[in-house]
Amino acid sequence: MAAGRPRVALAHDYLTQRGGAERVVLAMTRAFPEATLHTLLYEPGKTFAEFADVDLRVSPLNHASYLRRHHRRALPALPFAASAMRIDADVVIASSSGWAHGIRSPGAKIVYCYSPARWLYQSDRYLGAQPSLVRSTALRTLRPGLIRWDQHAAGTATRYLAISTAVQQRIADTYGLASEVVPAPVTLSRAEPEELREPATRALLEAEPFHLVVSRLLPYKNVDVVVRAFERLPGDRLVVVGTGPELQYLRSVSGPNVTFLAGLTDGEMHWLYAHARSLVAASHEDYGLTPLEAALHGTPAVVLRWGGFLDTMVEGATAVFFDDPEPAAVADAVRRADDLPWDAGVVRANAERFSEEHFAERLQAEVAAVLARPGTPGH
């Protein structure tokens, strides 16, 4: 790094999956190409390959291969691992939904918050309607200490940024802190669309229209609500792309018009987004990137009237909203979406407002503003 140039570093909770938060972190690495990236756990085979090209630093916890493969089992150790990490930089941007904001640094710390920890402050929604006795008991036992640690960690931030207006309000309610909304970028690989590799599935989806869910299969994502909605839509097909602990349960409650896919290439995902009739999301999302990813292909969305979707979707122009995450409400919204004359150009133009270039400019401006404060290292 050039002499005298402020040192910027990045931090993220863990890199053990392929999701929206990990795509945001990749966008951060492109906004600050000289920055080191620090994380508690890193499992290369389970996250995006692009992280192999980043100057990546991991915590000692990463030596436990079992925890890299099952990061939720590491919960009791994560606050200690985060507190033990120290980043020597003038500004750290901590990409956090619960842990990275606790990493220490002698410089300024900007927290880019996806949500205050769901397992602490929204534990019923996070665990689902029928949590295991072991998980619920463990969380109940650990929760008071974790909340004390989390509140202290939040207080060490120089500046909080919120991914959406819903999270901005949650930060105020949880920590008593003001924050600025910086929407996440919608980023897709530049891979060319490619047909699905599995011949039978490809033939099935080429022969009949389909709706799409792209999600981690966790209880709070409400994928089961969408699956049950398609029991009421026997003439429509639903494709669910994702992995997670709910997979076997979802298979057990799905009808013959539901197809499950996982392990797709970026090109296959482009093909699915472009050919779907709509992207369906029934989860209480703090932001929700997948409707925007679909929108870049001109595909409209059917979404819950909640959270980040209210910031990014335009009713009647890019999406149909439903008010409750219930099968009947989802089925009715899908029918309404099928009947609307969508303009793919309008759908794309709305998504392009959330570009990676604009996101990078906002983050760079935040870093400059923090560094300009008297007394900040690098000032």
Domains delineated in the chain: 8-185+355-371 (3.40.50), 199-354 (3.40.50.2000)
146 token code pair? 């974790």
CB contact at 8 A, 234 and 205: no
Given CA atoms 76, 77, 78, 80 in this order, what sign does their dihedral have? positive
Does residue 118 register a pLDDT over 60?
yes
CB contact at 8 A, 338 and 12: no
Query: Structure pTM?
Result: 0.80
Span 317-341, pLDDT tens digits = 999 999 999 999 999 999 999 999 9
> b or e along 152-190 (b: 16 or more beta carbons within 10 Å of the residue's beta carbon)?
ebbeebbbbbbbbebbbebbeebbebebeebbbbbbbee
Task: Give the up-direction half-sphere exposure of residue 88: CA atoms within 13 A in the CB hemisphere.
Answer: 0
Q: What is the mean pLDDT of residues 172-183?
A: 97
Does residue 345 register a pLDDT over 50?
yes
Task: Name the percent of the chain lying above pLDDT 70.
Answer: 93
Distance CA 91, CA 86 (A): 12
Closest-CA residue to 337 (of 164, 209, 193, 217):
209
266 token code pair? 């970026």
Span 29-57, pLDDT tens digits = 999 999 999 999 999 999 999 999 999 99
Closest-CA residue to 169 (of 121, 126, 127):
121
Closest-CA residue to 195 (of 280, 291, 274, 295):
274
Distance CA 166, CA 171 (A): 9
- Going from the C-alpha of 104 to that of each of 107, 161, 279, 379, the distances in angstroms are 9, 18, 40, 19
Does residue 93 register a pLDDT over 70?
yes
Residue 207 phi, psi dihedral angles, 5° rounding: -85, -25
Q: Looking at per-residue confidence, does 209 or 375 come out higher?
A: 209
> What was the pLDDT predicted at 191?
74
> What was the pLDDT predicted at 202?
87
Q: Lowest mean pLDDT: which of 187-201, 230-244, 264-278, 358-372? A: 187-201
SS3 20: helix
Distance CA 84, CA 103 (A): 7
Q: Looking at per-residue confidence, does 327 or 120 come out higher?
A: 327
∠ CA 180-181-184, rounded to 5°: 140
Q: What is the mean pLDDT of residues 248-262?
A: 96
Does residue 188 register a pLDDT over 80?
no
Largest CA distance in the chain: 65
Report the amino acid identity of residue 278: S
> What was the pLDDT predicted at 1?
43
Task: Name the percent of the chain lying above pLDDT 90.
Answer: 75
> What was the pLDDT predicted at 189?
72
Give residue 379's pLDDT band: very low, low, confident or very high (50, 70, 90). Answer: very low
Does residue 271 register a pLDDT over 50?
yes
Q: What is the mean pLDDT of residues 151-167?
A: 96
Span 65-83, pLDDT tens digits = 888 988 878 888 899 999 9
Give residue 140's pLDDT band: very low, low, confident or very high (50, 70, 90). Answer: confident
Q: What is the mean pLDDT of residues 140-164?
A: 93
Distance CA 238, CA 250 (A): 12
Give residue 187's pLDDT band: very low, low, confident or very high (50, 70, 90). Answer: confident
Span 291-308, pLDDT tens digits = 999 999 999 999 999 999
Mean pLDDT taken over the chain: 91
Distance CA 39, CA 188 (A): 23
- Which strands make up the sheet holding 301-304, listed edge to edge? 258-261, 237-241, 210-214, 279-281, 301-304, 319-322
Q: What is the mean pLDDT of residues 111-116?
A: 96
> What was the pLDDT predicted at 132?
61
